[in-house]
Amino acid sequence: MTTYLLAGGGTAGHVNPLLAVADGLRARDAASDVLVLGTREGLESRLVPLRGYELLTIAKVPFPRRPDRAAAVFPARFLRAVADVRRMIRQRGVDAVVGFGGYAAAPAYIAARRERVPFVVHEANAKPGLANVLGARTAAGVGVAFAGTPLRGAREVGMPLRREVVELDAPALRAEAAAHFGLDADRPTLLVFGGSLGALRLNTAFEGAWRDILDAGWQLLHVTGQTSDLADPGAEGYAVVRYVDRMDLAFALADLVVSRSGAATVSEINALGIPAVYVPYAVGNGEQSLNAAASVRAGAALLIPDAEFTPDRVRAEVVPLLADDARRTAMRDAAARTGIRTGTENVIAMIDEALAR
């Protein structure tokens, strides 16, 4: 029996690919022991047990950004976290460690190296996090979701994706999807979403431009976010929903997407071959723009900066695209060429290679 320790968490961007790989390992060999390492504060504290995996936790030890009291106590706290992971590796007989970034990843990489256990790094974003930059230096394998991600020894393996996305048969589900959202399966559909919390910039732009979408002969599925107070005008062909728990149905209905460009979002849209217009979230270190860059270069997507995304910009760039069948077909073909549906299998193959050395 092989025992795997999957380390990462904090955000959905770390937890979801981790869980996809965990599911892939368990599906391949039910006798394997798949453990997850995270913190009590991260999203993994809720999602990992819900998926049926054992969660081992260590203290959350952020890398210090300024010379303050936290920086003074950081070395001792970090070494304590590393020691905790080393003890877990020995006690549980861990054969391989797989890290996905986040607070738990860096201690796991160092602990694995000191225990002489092979470890593999997966980076979801085009701009890598500090933990994975450090881990990649001595990892047995480094996989990235996007080509050109600056990590030592990186191999493009794609994003480990949810099974409902990987296995999605959009034509077969289109009628069910249309009925689910109260739309027409025979009309082209623009899907707009900004994540579970929505995106105020997208909501405001389409609040002022939804009529133009309908006038172009399209219908609009607009996922506004759980906290949005955007009014539903009740217009035929315009479905306003706060939250979607069946994104597979939303994707099955989508002929064009306007969305943020988180790593998972871009990976899923490309894997499904859907043309897109990305409006990168402007806060952070610019990773969303970088995540979308390869799709834009390939011709699979357009990018409009957040500050410029207005109703007028929707009318100037999105509405003409609705009428240009040839351009959307070319974008769809480019997305299909860019997308990778085998990210989970590719990461597992890296793990197997590391164990075989």
CA distances from 316 to 87, 123, 131, 320 (A): 59, 35, 41, 7
Question: Does residue 91 have a known ligand-binding role?
Answer: no
pLDDT of residue 196: 61
Can you read off the two tokens belonging to residue 260?
Answer: 């943020």
What Å distances lie between residue 3 and 34, 105, 143, 306, 324, CA to CA? Answer: 6, 17, 20, 44, 52
Residue 125 annotated in ligand binding: yes
Q: Give the pair of three-digit tokens for residue 42.
A: 């991260």
Count of beta carbons in the 10 Å neighbourhood of residue 229: 8
Q: Is 13 annotated as a binding residue?
A: yes
Is residue 122 within 8 A of residue 17, CB to CB? The reply is yes
Alpha-carbon gap, residue 23 to 28, rounded angstroms: 9
288 is in an annotated binding site: yes
Q: What does each of the 357 residues of the chain score in pLDDT, given as a tens digit?
A: 899 999 998 888 889 999 999 999 999 999 999 999 999 988 899 999 999 999 999 998 877 776 767 667 778 888 999 999 999 999 999 999 999 998 999 999 999 999 999 999 999 999 999 999 999 999 999 999 999 999 999 999 999 998 999 999 999 999 999 999 999 999 999 999 987 666 899 999 999 999 999 999 999 999 999 888 888 999 999 999 998 989 999 999 999 999 999 999 999 999 999 999 999 998 777 889 999 999 999 999 999 999 999 999 999 999 999 999 999 999 999 999 999 999 999 999 999 999 998
Strand partners, 36: 6, 55
pTM given for the model = 0.91
**Torsion 58-138-11-252 (CA) sign:** negative
Please indicate if the annotation marks 12 as binding a ligand: yes
C-alpha angle with apex 63: 62 to 64, nearest 5 degrees?
A: 105
Residue 149 assigned ligand-binding role: no
259 appears as a binding residue in the annotation: no
